[in-house]
Structure 1
Amino acid sequence: MAESTEKREPALQSGEKDEKTTSPASNSIAETSFSINEKALLRKLDFRLLPPLTLLYLLSFLDRSNVGNARLEGMATDLKMTGDQYLNGLTLYFVGYVLFEVPCNIILKKTTPRLWLPTLTLVWGIISTLLGVVQNYSGYLGSRFFLGVAESGLFPGVVFYLSMWYKRNEQHYRVALFFSAASLAGAFGGILAWGIAHMKGVGGYNGWRWIFILEGLLTVVVSALAYFWVYNYPATAEFLSREEREFIQFRLKNDNDAIRAEAFSWSAVRKAFKDPKVWLYGLTFHTMSLPLYTLSLFLPTIINELGYSAAEAQLLSVPPYAVAFVLTIAVAVLSERTRRRAPFIIGSSALAIIGYIILLAQDRAGVSYLGTIFAAAGIYPATAIVLSWPANNVSGQTKRAIANAMQISIGNCGAVLGTQLYRTETSPRFFLGHGFALGYLVANIAVVSVLWLVLHKNNQKKEAERERRGLGALLGDIGDAEGEFQGDEDPRWVFQT
């Protein structure tokens, strides 16, 4: 057998002596593990890693969805756009997003998170700011397309990044915390838009222009700080002691492939494209992205069409997102504790289905508004689990980076379709958009059920193979087992269902 290109990364930094030959001051990794409080270390990682990443995603979601708030404040009128032309700009955003996600994660793998993620943020912050000074329909279209290109690398990049720091069952909760910024962005977006709209006339600009300008400039400022806030990987993290770095690598080597020194290879890219499970992960998000983005982009319009004023609609968009934020965290905790993914996705999608049934069946403003709360309360928790699933289950590193990007690309094809569904002529009931969202959520339950079955059958085959070869399960085995580790095809790798 040819020598594997995947070798375990040494636990120590370059220039330090190997632990096997150093003095008593350098204990074995196993001994070091007993002198470190694991829960305290996890809290330290959470405190250092999650706040900056969550802030970046909050700004990302804010800068992509604030166009819905700007529309209520007269953007389409000022740019002399029809309702369908406005939708075309939403569509172009996702075209750019879909096309560049895989290339962006390839760049991340070839560079570093500290360089790549803040640079993406800086670029989209500039583009978002420029949206506030566009003068015509062409400028609107171009800005939306390049905003999608610039934002495309953040989410799949961060999901891969977190998989290099946390054990598999710890990743979902962290991804959910990170994704919860989307619901916070929706809540803050409504409040900010309501307040900023009062700047109408300042500098000769309408209120909607200041929404883009101020929120875009905020992103630019944060991106500059992110070059100092975002760290690379555990082996070089400045905020960790030597013993803490060793312990992180010890706990990861017994759980996943994070500390294996794997160079980028095109063969690993091909493995991702050839794996049917990766396409199923993509379909799970495809069936969620349409309801996710139609709700986030059109919620102010939906509420406005229920009979509320523009200012009331901006403020009434806050409660659905607030409920979604709480449930996203609660469901993530339950999913992590039970080590189950599919049942929680199915249950959350069913809750969102109730919301769309209410929206389709009722024309009373108060009852229909309740439907938006149910919809948000189901969509956001389900999406958080869907997006963390391939990070839990796909191995090696390059394949996982590509799988994460493929999932978002395939998924956002649903968003491309969704941007054309809430057409002016279908208001105020929006039967077309609500109907598609309902159908996609039903399809999500079907796809998740199929993937659940596929993963379960794969685990059964792996268990039989382990028994035949006398192997243990993955945990505690991958780091020290003899023979080449085969990624998620290895019988020691157990899929989370």
Structure 2
Amino acid sequence: MAEIENDKTGNVSQSPEPSVSETAGPVINEKSLLRKIDAHLLPAVGILYLLSFLDRSNVGNARIEGLLNDLNMSGDHYLIGLSLYFVGYVLFEVPCNIVLKRTSPRVWLPTLTIVWGIVATLMGIVQNEPGFLAARFFLGVAESGLFPGVTYYFSMWYKRRERQYRVALFFSAASLAGAFGGILAYEGIATVLIATAAYWFVHNYPDTSKFLNNEEREFVRLRLAADGDATHEEKFSWAAVQNALRDPKCWLYGLAFHTMSLPLYTLSLFLPTIITNLGYTAATAQLLTVPPYAFAFGTTVAVAVLSERLAKRAVFIAGSAVFAAIGYSILLGNTNPVARPGVSYVAVFFAAGGIYPATALVLSWPTINVSGQTKRAIATAMQISIGNVGAVLGTQLYRSHDGPRFIVGHSFALGYLLANAIVVTILALILKKENKRRESIAEEIKNVGEVPDWSGDVDPRWRFEY
């Protein structure tokens, strides 16, 4: 067995000597293997999330193209439809991750995608308000299992310090969806077709994956055993579900996302409306949504890389939230956005450029810190369920008569972003204090995978990242 040691940052890492060749056949280049895993995993699930975000947020583009008139629906009832999506999303996230744990990613993730693709297609042909409301609710139900499912899925492939960057790349598909949502159509049909193919290009876990050979599979097992529980044969248990529900830290991860979800979804759902209210035509507004989302894609990747290299989480989340808050402060301070549309448009870059990286890092945090496979699956689902309660509120904030300044919506977004900075700071202090307490009890665990009776993150040898 290869030795495991702590690196300078205090994180567990595999020492370069002795070689894994003693147990895993020929010497394997770890970086090349990671690139191979990335190439097989990230595009597959990234495409599914891109489709998911398109299907949920394109309704914002449809609104400025005449949706309300086509369905003879008021602006307030349109907002109810937006809320119903998140109601369905919140109610079914934990059950969906329980199903994932009991089945497999290759079966469950494409099946979810086909279902929401069918619902999205039907939403494109609804003729009245009740049909729109029903379609939005069931779209939320169908999409609820994807993000928490994929974040758990990554935790079974990557070491702790490798997960955040991958989650950020995966989440960056949301910004791409925002950039191209205004110029893509018929996405429901496309979703069904791509999801059908996904049964062949979504992989399960390392021990059964076909794209790895036996030596690579063993190498992956050894490196995962070095700092996590992914190599354990853990069966689903309701006790682990209760452990997640009783852990205050799991609720704080949820609150951290709650304070980001309201700004995230209000921006993605209402950005076309905000830009249209600056005096632009619907067609021009569609095009003007592209640059802020492209900027958000860049900041998401850049911040994730820095956070990963420095092994710091909270400071980058809070910093990104404050960066976005600057944007909303500018939006609120521009008392005449129609006369000065350029000022508000610049502010949108701040908002998008801070919201997306902060959200990506928040969503990856429990995948790094929660140990115990079932507990982690439930914790990630809890986080997004709690978080999307904020989205339910956010859908009611940008009413037609509030334009062009949208003081209520922008004020809530600003307050939530500042609250996020406070929440993640408090959570980081709690994790830091807990690590110090544990240092006085036991040394840091060096090989979780070799502990047959591993009890999860309650073990005093486990250390949290903050």
**Which of the five TM-score ranges fits, normalised by the shorter chain?**
over 0.9
Q: 1:31, CA displacement in angstroms?
A: 4.2
Structure 2 distance, partners of 1:452, 1:29, is 39
Q: 1:493 aligns with which of 454, 462, 466?
A: 462
Structure 1 distance, partners of 2:64, 2:430, is 45
The correspondence of residues 244-323 of structure 1 with structure 2, limited to 5 A, is: 244-323=216-295
Structure 2 unaligned residues grouped into runs of 5+:
1-18
- Does structure 2 conserve the Cα–Cα contact (< 8 Å) formed by 1:477 and 1:492? no
SS across alignment from 1:236:
coil
Matching residue of 1:112: 104
SS across alignment from 1:489:
coil
Q: 1:33, CA displacement in angstroms?
A: 7.1
The correspondence of residues 80-229 of structure 1 with structure 2, limited to 5 A, is: 80-192=72-184, 211=185, 214-229=186-201
Query: What are the Cα deviations for residues 401-424 of structure 1, in whole angstroms up to 9, with x where unaligned?
Result: 000000000000000000000011
Matching residue of 1:62: 54
Matching residue of 1:480: 450
Structure 2 distance, partners of 1:112, 1:191, is 34
- Does structure 2 conserve the Cα–Cα contact (< 8 Å) formed by 1:29 and 1:246? no
Q: 1:365 aligns with which of 332, 337, 341?
A: 341
Structure 2 distance, partners of 1:83, 1:33, is 64
Tell me whether 1:74 sits opposite 2:66 in the alignment.
yes
Query: What are the Cα deviations for residues 352-383 of structure 1, in whole angstroms up to 9, with x where unaligned?
Result: 00000010001210100111110000000000
Structure 2 distance, partners of 1:271, 1:370, is 45
- Normalising by structure 1, report the TM-score: 0.88
Tell me whether 1:394 sits opposite 2:370 in the alignment.
yes
Q: 1:29, CA displacement in angstroms?
A: 6.3
Cα RMSD (Å): 1.2
Matching residue of 2:433: 457
Q: 1:479, CA displacement in angstroms?
A: 2.9
Q: Which stretches of structure 1, 4 residues or longer, exceed 3 Å deviation after superposition?
A: 27-31
Structure 2 distance, partners of 1:234, 1:29, is 19
Structure 2 distance, partners of 1:480, 1:405, is 27
Structure 2 distance, partners of 1:123, 1:315, is 30
- Does structure 2 conserve the Cα–Cα contact (< 8 Å) formed by 1:191 and 1:318? no
- Does structure 2 conserve the Cα–Cα contact (< 8 Å) formed by 1:298 and 1:422? yes
Q: Which range moved further: 420-429 or 174-183?
A: 420-429
Tell me whether 1:233 sits opposite 2:225 in the alignment.
no
- Does structure 1 conserve the Cα–Cα contact (< 8 Å) formed by 2:155 and 2:163? yes
Structure 2 distance, partners of 1:342, 1:29, is 38
Matching residue of 1:412: 388
SS across alignment from 2:235:
coil
Structure 1 distance, partners of 2:342, 2:320, is 23
**Corresponding residue pairs, total:** 444
Matching residue of 1:197: none
Query: What are the Cα deviations for residues 37-92 of structure 1, in whole angstroms up to 9, with x where unaligned?
Result: 00000000000011010000000000000000011111110101111011000000
SS across alignment from 2:465:
coil
Structure 1 residues 30 and 408: CA distance shift in structure 2, 3 A: farther
- Does structure 1 conserve the Cα–Cα contact (< 8 Å) formed by 2:115 and 2:142? yes
Matching residue of 2:305: 333
Q: 1:494, CA displacement in angstroms?
A: 0.9
Structure 2 distance, partners of 1:355, 1:106, is 39
Q: 1:385, CA displacement in angstroms?
A: 0.2
Matching residue of 2:13: none
- Does structure 2 conserve the Cα–Cα contact (< 8 Å) formed by 1:29 and 1:250? no
Structure 1 residues 368 and 452: CA distance shift in structure 2, 3 A: same
Structure 1 distance, partners of 2:22, 2:262, is 47
Structure 2 distance, partners of 1:33, 1:169, is 25
Structure 1 distance, partners of 2:201, 2:448, is 32
Structure 2 distance, partners of 1:110, 1:484, is 21
Q: 1:324 aligns with which of 296, 318, 331?
A: 296
Structure 1 residues 264 and 376: CA distance shift in structure 2, 3 A: same
Structure 2 distance, partners of 1:277, 1:120, is 29
- Does structure 2 conserve the Cα–Cα contact (< 8 Å) formed by 1:130 and 1:143? yes
Q: 1:477, CA displacement in angstroms?
A: 2.8
Structure 2 distance, partners of 1:348, 1:397, is 30
Structure 2 distance, partners of 1:123, 1:335, is 36
Q: 1:492, CA displacement in angstroms?
A: 1.8
Could you say which structure has the larger radius of gyration?
Answer: 1
- Does structure 2 conserve the Cα–Cα contact (< 8 Å) formed by 1:98 and 1:152? yes
Tell me whether 1:349 sits opposite 2:311 in the alignment.
no
Structure 2 distance, partners of 1:402, 1:330, is 29
SS across alignment from 1:71:
helix
The correspondence of residues 431-450 of structure 1 with structure 2, limited to 5 A, is: 431-450=407-426
Structure 1 unaligned residues grouped into runs of 5+:
1-26, 193-210
- Does structure 1 conserve the Cα–Cα contact (< 8 Å) formed by 2:231 and 2:449? no
- Normalising by structure 2, report the TM-score: 0.94
Structure 1 distance, partners of 2:296, 2:418, is 19
Structure 2 distance, partners of 1:29, 1:419, is 55
Structure 1 distance, partners of 2:310, 2:26, is 26
SS across alignment from 2:441:
helix
**Counterpart residue type for residue 496 of structure 1:** E
Percent identical among aligned pairs is: 66
**Counterpart residue type for residue 371 of structure 1:** A
Structure 2 distance, partners of 1:464, 1:170, is 28
**Counterpart residue type for residue 75 of structure 1:** L
Structure 2 distance, partners of 1:489, 1:328, is 31
Structure 1 distance, partners of 2:455, 2:234, is 12
**Counterpart residue type for residue 146 of structure 1:** F
Q: 1:30, CA displacement in angstroms?
A: 4.5
SS across alignment from 1:488:
coil
Structure 1 residues 119 and 459: CA distance shift in structure 2, 3 A: same
